[in-house]
Amino acid sequence: MPCHGSNRVTSIALQGVRLKLGTRVILADASLAIGEAEFIGVLGANGAGKTTLMRAILGLLRPERGRIEVLGSPAARGNPAVGYMPQSRAAIGALRLTGWEFVAGVLDGHRLGLPIAGRAGRAEVDRVLDLVGARALARRPLAETSGGERQRLLLAQTLIGRPRLLLLDEPLISLDPHHQASVVALVRALQRELRITVLFSAHELNPLLGALDRVLYLGRGEAALGSVEAVITAPVLSRLYGAEIEVVRLGGRIFVMSGSHDVERDAHQHDQHDTHAHDGHTHDHTHGEHDAGV
Ligand SMILES: Nc1ncnc2c1ncn2[C@@H]1O[C@H](COP(=O)(O)OP(=O)(O)O)[C@@H](O)[C@H]1O
Ligand SMILES: [Mg+2]
């Protein structure tokens, strides 16, 4: 994939992609290109297809039509240049592990295609813990870490093996606004420092506003990729939501409203309830087939 827009190398290219789950069309016919070292906020209502698109980019779901290229090759599972933080993170129930052991867990096969072992593997774990500022968590049991600290460890895991592309599926769910802001700032800083392409999905635009380069908004089988100014508009979002949407800007924040409802916020609160219902338990069933990790 040679070029994208302003002479950048393309990281992800979709050409005429159609994605289906069962009989449901998630993407009807999407063509788009994401450049190297772009930070893309992936938005859309619950069920719009954010997770499904990430799974397709990972090669876990084959498009019914069209092509997906990732870092210059067809999407294929087990690409060590792609780091993934799945939305369903129930498997973190192994609370007796230390932070170091948890991050090192990816070395023995949780992520496919990572041939790092022995001393090099240990050095790699130390390196990624340093990158996310979590060296102090290395010896602590996961049981004693906060939600924000665990999020750092999950992020460290995705950085093992020096990926060129990170797919982070709803890293902000169940974090309070303060921790949300620090996760976004950390990902942005790492993305710039390491020149990684990042797809960061979220229900709500506002926590990502200061960090993202472009928005990829999904809805009703369509994908709109562009600047906030181009995509977060009444005509585009009305099409994607299939409802009359009004975009309200207030004090540096942007609200996506349908009548008197903030559609992004409503979806987020619904999801947080879901997450809380499972908090505090250590059972690690998956929450649906399309949420299973790699
Ligand atoms: N086998 C299936 N058949 C039909 N629809 C499905 C199937 N599996 C999942 N879905 C639906 O596909 C939609 C896409 O979900 P998902 O990609 O998880 O969206 P998001 O991550 O944006 O919330 C959801 O509405 C989900 O219920
Ligand atoms: Mg999802």
19-50, pLDDT tens digit by residue? 999 999 999 999 999 999 999 999 999 999 99
The band of 143, judged by pLDDT with boundaries at 50, 70 and 90, is confident
The band of 147, judged by pLDDT with boundaries at 50, 70 and 90, is confident
- The total number of residues written for the chain in this structure: 294
Ligand nearest to the CA of 44: 1
- The residue among 219, 203, 216, 191 whose CA lies nearest residue 255 is 203
Q: Which atom of ligand 1 is nearest to the CA of 53?
A: 17
Amino acid at 159: L
> Which strands make up the sheet holding 165-168, listed edge to edge?
82-85, 165-168, 197-201, 39-43, 214-219, 222-226
Write the CB contacts of 47 (distance below 8 Å, at least 6 apart in sequence): none
The band of 264, judged by pLDDT with boundaries at 50, 70 and 90, is confident
Strands 197-201, 39-43: pairing is: parallel
Domain membership of residue 160 (yes or no) is no
Domain membership of residue 226 (yes or no) is yes
Query: Residue holding tokens 């876990």?
Result: 60
Mean local confidence (pLDDT), 266-286: 44
Write the CB contacts of 249 (distance below 8 Å, at least 6 apart in sequence): 255
Asked if 224 contacts 217 with a C-beta cutoff of 8 angstroms, the reply is yes
Task: Kindly tell me if the per-residue pLDDT of 239 is higher than 90.
Answer: yes
Cα of 51 from ligand 2 centre, angstroms: 4
pLDDT tens digit sequence for 90-136: 555 667 889 998 898 877 654 545 556 678 888 999 999 999 999 99
The band of 248, judged by pLDDT with boundaries at 50, 70 and 90, is very high
Domain membership of residue 281 (yes or no) is yes
The CATH number assigned to the domain holding 266 equals 3.40.50.300
Distances (CA, A) of 110 to 115, 128, 278: 12, 16, 23
- The residue among 48, 45, 10 whose CA lies nearest residue 27 is 48
CA angle 232, 238, 240 (to 5 degrees): 80
Domain membership of residue 187 (yes or no) is yes
What is the pLDDT of the chain when averaged over all its residues?
Answer: 86
pTM: 0.87
Mean local confidence (pLDDT), 223-227: 98
Cα of 170 from ligand 1 centre, angstroms: 15
Cα of 267 from ligand 1 centre, angstroms: 15
Q: Is the CB of 292 under 6 A from ligand 1?
A: no
Minimal-distance CA residue to ligand 1 atom 7:
21
Q: Could you give the maximum distance between any two Cα atoms of the chain, in Å?
A: 58
Structure tokens at 204: 């709500």
Cα of 65 from ligand 1 centre, angstroms: 18
Domain membership of residue 37 (yes or no) is yes
Please tell me the predicted confidence (pLDDT) of residue 94. 67
Cα of 291 from ligand 2 centre, angstroms: 8
Q: Render the burial of 178-211: b for 16+ CB within 10 Å, e for the rest.
A: ebbeebbebbbebbeeeebbbbbbbbbbbbbbeb
Q: Which atom of ligand 1 is nearest to the CA of 87?
A: 21
What is the span of the domain harbouring residue 218? 10-89+165-291
The band of 84, judged by pLDDT with boundaries at 50, 70 and 90, is very high
Please tell me the predicted confidence (pLDDT) of residue 105. 83
Helix (H) or strand (E) holding 128: helix 118-131
Q: Is the CB of 220 under 6 A from ligand 1?
A: no
Query: Residue holding tokens 């789950």?
Result: 21
Q: Is the CB of 50 under 6 A from ligand 1?
A: yes
Please tell me the predicted confidence (pLDDT) of residue 146. 87
Q: How many CB atoms lie within 10 A of CB 42?
A: 27
Domain membership of residue 108 (yes or no) is no
Domain membership of residue 198 (yes or no) is yes
Q: Which atom of ligand 1 is nearest to the CA of 170?
A: 21
Distance CA 22, CA 116 (A): 37
Domain membership of residue 231 (yes or no) is yes
pLDDT tens digit sequence for 153-163: 999 999 999 99
Mean local confidence (pLDDT), 261-268: 78
- The residue among 218, 271, 209, 261 whose CA lies nearest residue 240 is 218
Count of structural domains within the chain: 1
